[in-house]
Amino acid sequence: MSNAIFGSRILDEVRKQVVGKDTTLGLILCALLSGGHVLIDDIPGVGKTTMAVAFERAMGLSGKRMQFTPDVLPSDIVGFSVYDKDTGRMNFREGAVFCNLFLADEINRTSPKTQAALLECMEEHQVTIDGKTHKLPDPFFVIATQNPTGSVGTQKLPESEIDRFLISVSMGYPTLEEEREILKRKNQSAGEVMRVTDRTVILQMQQEVREIFVHDAVNDYMVRLTQATRNNPYVELGGSPRATVALMQMSMAYAYLSGRNYVLPEDAAAVFIPVMNHRIQRSRKARIDKVSVEDILTAVLKKEKRPTERRRSE
C-alpha cells in the first residue's frame, strides 16, 4: 500500500487537462493499475484522446498513438520482418504497439483484420511475427476510443475483442459549468501535465493491487452478479468467466485507491457496470421493451443481496 498515494497525484495531474469526469478518471486508473485495457465509447470531441495522453504523461510511460482508418494494416500495429541483403537475414521492425501505453484512436473505423491484430497484444502482451514471439514492454496498456456504432465509417468490434477490454466507459457531455471552464482553460492555456511516477512505480503499484485481500463471501457475490447477467430474459449474451475475473481485478484496484487492503462488496458494486456494460448483448425482448444495458445491470445490482461486511485486520 506504500505507493497508493501516487494514485491521487496521477489524477490531480490528469485533471489539469480534463474538466470534471472524476468518476470516469478514477475507473480508468483502476483499470490501468489492474493491468487491464480501457475502451472509451463516445462521440467525437468530448476529450477522449486528451484524457489518454494526460494519463500517459502523468504516469511517466512511453506512449504511441495510432489513428485507425480503413487503410491501416496489421503490420503497422505489430511490426513486420524486412530482408537485409547485407546479412542475408530477416530483421524485425517493431510496430506502433511497442510501448507502455498504446492509444488506439477510433478503433472501430478500421477493418476487422486490423482490429484482430491487437488480440494477442492485449491478452498475452506479445506479438508473433513469422513464428517468432516478441515481448511487449512492461507494463503494457491499450486505451482504445471508438465512436458509437452506426456512425459513418464504423465497424462493430467482435465479441472476442470487446471481452478483452477490462472496462468500457463514456466521457459524456460536460455540464454547463464544466463547459465554461473548458473555454476558460482554452483561452488561458491549461497547466502542463507533470510526471509524478515512472514505470517502476507503476509496476510496484500493480503488485500491491494483486496483494489486496478478497474474502470468499465477496468472491461469491461477484460470481452471483455475473451469473445473474446470464439468466436474464433481457440478455442474449451475458458476462463471461473473463468478466468475473475482471470484476475481481477492478474491485481490488478500487479498494487499493480507497486506501484499503481488502475488498468490500461496495467496491464490486461500484465497478460492476463499467466492467459488464460492453460485454452484455440485449435480447430481442429488451430491444422491443426499450430496456438499456445499464437498466439491466442496475436491476441486477438491486436484486443480488450483498454479503455481510467482512474485513481483514489491517
At the second CATH level, the architecture of 212-303 is: Orthogonal Bundle (1.10)
Taking CA atoms, 304 is separated from 128, 248, 297, 300, in Å, by 43, 16, 11, 6
Q: Are 190 and 52 in contact (CB under 8 A)?
A: no
Query: Could you read off the pLDDT tens digit of each residue along the chain, which spans 314 residues?
Result: 678 889 999 999 998 888 888 899 999 999 999 999 999 988 777 788 888 889 999 999 998 999 998 889 999 999 998 888 888 788 889 999 999 999 998 888 888 888 888 989 999 999 998 888 999 999 999 999 888 765 666 777 878 888 899 999 988 888 899 888 888 877 665 568 899 999 999 999 999 999 999 999 999 999 999 999 998 999 999 999 999 999 999 999 999 999 999 999 999 999 999 999 999 999 999 999 999 999 999 999 999 999 874 444 44
The grid cell for 285 is 425482448
Residue 192 pLDDT: 83
Helix/strand/coil (H, E, C) string of the chain?
CCCCHHHHHHHHHHCCCCCCCHHHHHHHHHHHHCCCCEEEECCCCCCHHHHHHHHHHHCCCCEEEEECCCCCCHHHHHEEEEEECCCCEEEEEECCCCCCEEEEECHHHCCHHHHHCHHHHHHHCEEEECCEEEECCCCCEEEEEECCCCCCCCCCCCHHHHCCCCEEECCCCCCHHHHHHHHHHHHHCCCCCCCCCCHHHHHHHHHHHHCCECCHHHHHHHHHHHHHHHCCCCEEECCCHHHHHHHHHHHHHHHHHCCCCECCHHHHHHHHHHHHCCCCEECHHHHHCCCCHHHHHHHHHHHCCCCCCCCCCC
Q: Any idea where the domains of the chain sit in the sequence?
A: 5-188, 212-303
Residue 215 pLDDT: 94
The grid cell for 304 is 443480488
CATH of domain 5-188: 3.40.50.300
